[in-house]
């Protein structure tokens, strides 16, 4: 017999309950508007010369806060 599920604590005043699905939908709809405040991006762009040698490595630093999609 499994242990009884503990009662769900009340949501503190001023906060709103949201499901993972709702949050996912919000991120998709709002894109960078939400993502800027929530997400981190890291990465590298590499430029190779005609012989395949690495010419430059450019770090990805952020989502663009100024561009509207």
Query: Which sign, positive or negative, has the C-alpha torsion 58, 63, 64, 68?
Result: positive
Residues binding other proteins: number (CB under 8 A): 35
Distance of alpha carbon 18 from alpha carbon 38, whole angstroms: 15
Cβ contact 45:58 at 8 Å = yes
Residue 2 CB, shortest distance to other proteins, in Å, is 20
Positions 4 through 43 that interact with other proteins (CB under 8 A): 20, 23-25, 27-28, 31-32, 35, 38-43
- Interface residues with other proteins (CB under 8 A) are 20, 23-25, 27-28, 31-32, 35, 38-50, 52, 55-64, 67, 69
């Amino acid at each position: 017999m499994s242990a009884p599920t503990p009662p769900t604590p009340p949501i503190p005043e001023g906060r709103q309950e949201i499901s993972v699905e709702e949050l996912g939908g919000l991120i998709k709809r709002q894109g960078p508007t939400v993502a800027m405040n929530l997400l981190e991006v890291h990465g590298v762009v590499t430029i190779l010369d005609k012989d395949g040698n690495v010419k430059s490595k450019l770090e990805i630093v952020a989502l663009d806060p100024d561009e509207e999609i």
